[in-house]
Amino acid sequence: MDSPRGSLGSWELRSIVGNMFPLLVVLCVIVLWAGITLEDAQEMLEQYGILALMVPTMVDMGGNLGAILSSRLSTRLHLGTTDFDPRDRELWANVGAILALAATIFTALAFGAYLLGGLVGSALPLTTLLTIALVSGLSVAVIAVVFSFATTYASYRLGVDPDDTTIPIVTNVVDVFGMVIFIGVSALVLGF
Amino acid sequence: MSAREEFWSIYREALPILLVALGGGLFAGIVLEGMVGSVERFPGLFVMIPVFLATRGNVYGALGGRISSGLHQGLIEPTFERDERLVNAVAASFINGIGISVVIGVLTWLALLILGWEVAALYELVAIMLIAGVLTSVVLIFGLLALIFAGFESGYDPDNLVGPIVTTLGDIFGMLFMLFAIGLVEVLA
């Protein structure tokens, strides 16, 4: 297609890379903390390989939940429902659904890790796995909810489009919490 | 809509997608477990894993968001053609995805140096990230476009597809290609 270069606007190669790359570097620096936590927990993971099975999900899922809620909240703001009234039952339905999803998914994660544990030759009792997955998972879900409200509201107030900057930041910050809390709770439960 | 209906509609809409992401996450976990032994050979490897996985979401999530709004606005067509916008978006994702992978290797090396922890050679960490970054970019960019185009043509809203597709594909292929890259660098270095 031979559209004149000027009309490409935000689809210009330089503008996509120029806008995106600095944000990516900032996000990397944030998530580096999660990496350092994981490296530090190396001995625990060597002893309990079954925990390694849960790591990618623990890193992603809080961010996924935060992204679902943030995009719903930002759609509400775009549509003109600008108040976060604590008496608004619809808002509480959103929060409740996120927490219910977290409870379901992290229970399924514990069962999944329990079943796959034999495959990697590492086992822990189901109750221990459920405790680790649900305590860390629900804590992360609560953090995801708080951060989604705070950043969606802040970006609305500051006039920034949440889709471009705040949602990636929420997702990555929540990912870090996911890792730090998961490793902390595991160490506590296993007495490491 | 009543609060109860709203609750169930969000729950029902999101659950299947999150369960697919859980499956991808558990698969990635099996691969990760296989890497535990390699950390002693390449200290710093575990620092890079969460950063590498998160970055896949950031780069290709942005591409997916851009493509799906482009489709909504009629700016691009749901086919692989030499459209300047599509080519630019794809080229930018390659540059961002591969460039940031190298940055991850360098940042990890620097962070561990500052902490005074044991760390592998800079070129080893950068090589692992570069190989894994290039391979993951190819699969994720073309896989994501193919799935979004197919979804769009069969009437799905691409907005609802992007996040979970990126997370799931990113976890699975990101970890597999990292495992491959570690093996390759182990042999070559």
Q: Given a cut of 50, is residue B178 above it in pLDDT? A: yes
pLDDT for the residue A1:
43
pLDDT for the residue A5:
45
Quote the distance between the C-alpha of residue A94 and its chain's center: 17
CATH code (residue B46): 1.10.357.20
Identify the band that residue B164 occupies on the pLDDT scale cut at 50, 70 and 90.
Answer: confident
Token readout for A71 is 């995009």
Q: In the predicted model, what is the mean pLDDT of residues B55-72?
A: 87
- Say how far apart CA B75 and CA B41 lie, in whole Å: 49
Which residue ranges in chain A fall short of pLDDT 50? 1-6
Residue A125: exposure state from Cβ atoms within 10 A (0-12, 13-18, ≥19): exposed
pLDDT for the residue A81:
66
A157 min Cα distance to partner chain B (Å): 23
pLDDT for the residue B151:
86
For A101-130, give the DSSP string.
Answer: HHHHHHHHHHHHHHHHGGGGT----HHHHH
Tens of pLDDT along A116-157?
A: 998 888 889 999 999 999 999 999 999 999 998 888 888 888
> Which chain A residue's Cα is nearest to B103?
A25
- Say how far apart CA A7 and CA A1 lie, in whole Å: 12
Average pLDDT value for chain B = 91
- Judged by a CB distance cut-off of 8 A, whether residue B164 touches chain A is yes
* Cβ(A38)–Cβ(A55) below 8 Å: yes
Delineate the domains of chain A, giving CATH numbers in brackets: 33-80+89-190 (1.10.357.20)
3-state secondary structure of A4: coil
A128 min Cα distance to partner chain B (Å): 18
| B116 Rama class: left (phi>0) / alpha (psi -120 to 50) / beta | left
Q: In the predicted model, what is the mean pLDDT of residues B144-169?
A: 82
Tens of pLDDT along B87-143?
A: 999 999 999 999 999 999 999 999 999 999 999 999 999 999 999 999 999 999 999
* Cβ(A24)–Cβ(B58) below 8 Å: yes
Q: How many domains does chain B have?
A: 1
Task: Show the DSSP H helices in chain A as ranges.
Answer: 13-40, 42-47, 49-78, 89-116, 126-158, 166-190
B148 min Cα distance to partner chain A (Å): 18
Q: Which of residues 125-144 of B touch A (CB under 8 A)?
A: none
> Which chain A residue's Cα is nearest to B34?
A120
Under 8 Å CB pairs connecting chains A and B tally to 212
Q: In the predicted model, what is the mean pLDDT of residues B66-70?
A: 87
* Cβ(B67)–Cβ(B76) below 8 Å: yes
Cβ contact (<8 Å) for A38 and B46?
yes
A43 min Cα distance to partner chain B (Å): 9
- Judged by a CB distance cut-off of 8 A, whether residue B22 touches chain A is yes
- Say how far apart CA A173 and CA A66 lie, in whole Å: 10
ipTM of the complex model: 0.88
Token readout for B125 is 């960490």
Q: Residues with Cβ < 8 Å from B126, sequence gap 6 or more? A: B102, B105, B106, B109
Q: In the predicted model, what is the mean pLDDT of residues B35-42?
A: 88
Phi and psi at residue B164, to the nearest 5°: -65, -35
pLDDT for the residue A4:
46
Lowest mean pLDDT among A183-187, B22-26, B64-68, B130-134: B64-68
